[in-house]
Amino acid sequence: MSTLSERILGAAAGDYVDAEVDRAYVHDGTGVLTLEAWKEMGCPGPAHPERLYILFDHIVPANNSTTATLQKELREFARSRGIHFSDIGGGVCHQIMGEGEVLPGEIVVGADSHSCTLGAFGAFATGVGATDMAAVWASGTTWFRVPETIAVRLSGSFNSAVEAKDLALTVVSKLGMDGASYRALEYIGEGTKSLSMEGRLTMTNLATEAGAKTGLFYADDVTRAYLLQFGHRVENQVPEPCTYACEVRIDLGDLVPVVAPPPRVDSARPVASLEGLPLDQVFVGTCTNGRFEDLQRFASIVRDKKVIVRTIVIPSSAGVLRKAADTGVLSTIVASGCTIGTPGCGPCLGAHMGVIGEGEVCLSTANRNFTNRMGIGGSVYLASVATAAASALKGVLTVPEVNHAP
Amino acid sequence: MHLEGNVVCLGADIDTDVIIAGRYLRTKDRQVWVEHVFEDLDPSLGARLRGSVLVAGRNFGCGSSREQAAVALKEAGLIAVIAPSFSRIFFRNAINVGLPVVEGECHCASGDHVVIDLDEGVVICGGARTPVRPLSARMQEILRAGGLVPLWRSKKQ
Ligand code: SF4
């Protein structure tokens, strides 16, 4: 009788295991250090290039010649070694891995803290550093301490205007920034059924903000239908009775739209309590909330209206951008006065394409609001797509009124 | 392993953005990270790290997985970090780059002299001996080699 993490890793919580890695990915940021460490280790070719991915998303297209030169080396390495490669504009690494790459039951590591996102497919997915990743390149394996698991039991369904992001921020605020340290989060209960695959990815994306090693959903009918689009037929994962370290219960019907003021992600409070906060920029995108469903919800709120604060919308992948273009979602967003960026991380990490100035306030759909994250002296408030859309139309933090989900 | 140094105290939830900001990551030049370590928290702190032991609050190294955070601290000459808990990626990164990280409560003030005995799993400060969580045999092996890269190289020979 095991938790999903125990089942996938094949050992009990607390045990150390050496595991074969099914998929391992780096981005243009962490890839540079990984390649350095790998070269220093002096190994022959990567053990299993077909399991490795190099995905450019952090600073795309390159912002200066230093970045461009670092990217050039990594690009040439990927191509010469037969490693899966996605160039500028392909999208955020976690999103690309979630477009039919990662499958239930797999062991996945990414050289990025939000690699836990892929746990939404019932995989064991977690972030590692560059040197750990270099060892994975060299050997195809890594070690884990099998985590204990905290159950997040969901019941009920969302009220209008509430979405997965509000739930994710609420879970982080209940647990605290280190409330799930070294542990896994498993989202269980009837309430999971009403969460779309995209909503689940938003949930698992924020697991790391509570310190968790990963966040997991059991693969079910929703997972199966989503992966079928990419040609994969997968089995459901049936939960077994198991021992959880503790359990957090949430009735989705009790939730309200929330905002997390800086500098902590566990600071969620009702949007209503800060309504009217003046904004300098709204940013919709990232590995948290840049998926098609997010853009569609945003478009449904701003349709035939104009945003009155500068608003940047960045699709999380080329696939999302294409779908938004094909369905008219993109033209609705452009017509409302928003700026569209290259699929990727955009200004999320404060490097380019929408960095904020001193004293400025950005309302963002991302996952981090740390000091100076999006620009020195600027403040980042985190919220849902619906809150971002309603606020972009008013220029101040605004409670979204109704659920505009199609 | 026996380590010692003068204490520099920090608060809880020190994130990796604060250790080294995202704007300094686009380089392989370690000196850049050393120059800007903790810049957004306290620009004078970086110069005080050489030969020091950081004694921090809970959840040290949370946030981004950037290994540059651990490398910056190591290259700045820091001896070790002691904290009641670490973010798991930072913890692994630190061991992998050869920076000792010690999980435990240590009640001391900035300027105190602290001794860490990793084999015994104890921290000694102002005469008080505080037990700390022992590192696994694998982690100790990596630290003794000076990091995971040197360990791999030595194993190949
Ligand atoms: S979108 Fe932001 S949080 Fe996500 S991988 Fe990119 S920088 Fe990290």
| Ligand 1 centroid – CA A72 distance (Å) | 21
The string of pLDDT tens digits covering residues A213-260 is 999 999 999 999 999 999 999 999 999 999 999 999 999 999 999 999
Is the CB–ligand 1 distance for residue A348 below 6 Å?
A: yes
A354 CB within 8 Å of a chain B CB: no
Signed CA dihedral, A322, A326, A329, A331: sign only: positive
pLDDT reading at B17 higher than 50: yes
Give B33's contacts in chain A (Cβ within 8 Å). Answer: none
**A48 pLDDT tier (thresholds 50, 70, 90):** very high
Last residue of a domain, one of A145, A178, A204: A145
Q: A124, A145, A166: which is the final residue of a domain?
A: A145
Give the chain B residue nearest A264 (alpha carbons).
Answer: B13
- Please give the pLDDT value at position B150: 95
Q: Look at residue A148 and tell me whether its pLDDT is greater than 70.
A: yes
Q: Say whether both A129 and A165 belong to one domain.
A: no
The CATH number given to whatever domain includes residue A198 is: 3.40.1060.10
Environment class of B119 (CB within 10 Å of its CB; exposed 0-12, middle 13-18, buried 19+): exposed
Is pLDDT of A405 > 60? no
A345 within ligand 1 shell (Cβ under 6 A): yes
Ligand 1 pocket, residue A201 CB under 6 Å? no
Tell whether A350 lies on the interface with B, counting CB pairs under 8 A. Answer: yes
Strands (E), A72-140: 84-86, 107-110, 124-127
Instruction: Report the pLDDT averaged over residues B77-101.
Output: 95
Same-domain pairing of A166 and A225: yes
Same domain, A130 and A153: no
pLDDT tens per residue, range B55-72: 999 999 998 889 999 999
Asked if A28 and A85 sit in the same domain, the reply is yes
Indicate which CATH number applies to the domain containing B22: 3.20.19.10
pLDDT of res. A43: 85
What pLDDT is recorded for position A406?
46
Alpha-carbon span A44 to A40, nearest angstrom: 11
Residues A132, A153: one domain?
no
Q: Of A87, A120, A145, which residue sits at a domain end?
A: A145
Residue A243 shares a structural domain with residue A280: no
Residue closest to B148 by CA, chosen among B136, B139, B135, B137 = B139
Tell me, yes or no, if A229 comes closer than 8 A to chain B by beta carbon: no
Tens-place pLDDT, residues A5-30: 999 999 999 998 999 999 999 999 99
Q: Confirm whether A113 is domain-assigned.
A: yes
Angle at B147 between CA B141 and CA B152, to 5 degrees: 80
For position B22, what pLDDT does the model report? Answer: 85
Domain harbouring A43, CATH code: 3.30.499.10
Q: Is the CB of A183 under 6 A from ligand 1?
A: no
pLDDT at A401: 86
| CB nearest B13 (choices: A16, A130, A177) | A177
Beta carbons of A178 and B40 less than 8 Å apart: no
Give the gap in angstroms from C-alpha B145 to the nearest C-alpha of chain A.
13
Q: Which residue among A127, A131, A211 places its CB closest to the CB of B96?
A: A131
pTM: 0.94
State the average pLDDT over residues A198-211.
97
CB A209 less than 6 A from any atom of ligand 1: no
In a domain, A400, yes or no: no
Cβ pair A171, A203 in contact under 8 A: yes
C-beta A111 within 6 A of ligand 1:
no
Q: Is residue A384 part of a domain?
A: yes
| Same domain as A139, residue A10 | yes
Burial B98-115 (b: 16+ CB within 10 A, else e): bbbbbbbebebeeebebe
For A175-184, what is the mean pLDDT?
94
Q: In the prediction, which pLDDT does B104 show?
A: 93
Domain-embedded: residue A404: no
In a domain, A402, yes or no: no
Per the structure, how many domains does chain B have? Answer: 1
Strand partners, B53: B7, B80
ipTM above 0.95, yes or no: no
DSSP string, A69-84: HHHHHHHHHHHHHT-E
Mean pLDDT of A136-140: 96
Across B112-139, average pLDDT: 91
Amino acid at site A70: L
Q: Which residues of A292-304 are buried (b: 16+ CB within 10 A; e: fewer)?
A: bbbbbbbbbbbee
Q: Is residue A303 part of a domain?
A: yes
Q: What span, in angstroms and rounded, lies between the C-alpha atoms of A199 and A162? A: 11
- Residue A406 belongs to a domain: no
**A93 phi-psi bin (left φ>0, alpha ψ -120 to 50, beta other):** alpha
Considering the domain architecture, whether residues A230 and A322 belong to the same structural domain is answered as no
Average pLDDT over residues A261-280: 97
Q: How far is CA B20 from CA A310, B33, B38, in A?
A: 29, 7, 6
Pair A241, A183 in one domain: yes
Residue A44: what pLDDT?
A: 84
Mean pLDDT score, A158-187: 96
Q: Please tell me which of A273-287, B7-21, B24-38 the model is most confident about, judged by mean pLDDT.
A: A273-287
Q: Which residues of B touch A372 (CB under 8 A)?
A: 17, 21, 40
Answer yes or no: do A124 and A153 share one domain.
Answer: no
Structure tokens at B76: 């700045």
A161 and A140, same domain (yes or no): no
For the record, the structure tokens of A356 come out as 């904020």
In a domain, A229, yes or no: yes
If you average pLDDT over residues A320-341, what whole number do you get? 98
pLDDT at site B64: 86
Q: Which domain holds residue A226?
A: 149-254
Ligand 1 atom closest to the Cα of residue A316 is: 1
Q: Given CA atoms A348, A349, A352, A358 in this order, what sign does their dihedral have?
A: positive
Residues A274 and A363 in one domain: yes
A246-251, strands of its sheet edge to edge = A214-217, A184-188, A149-155, A246-251
Contact A186, A149 (CB under 8 A): yes
Q: Please name the residues between 129 and 148 in chain A that touch chain B, using a CB distance below 8 Å.
A: 129-132, 134-135, 138, 143
CB-CB neighbors (< 8 A) of A30 in chain B: 65-67
* Domain extent at residue B125: 2-156
SS3 call for A90: coil
Per the structure, how many domains does chain A have?
A: 3
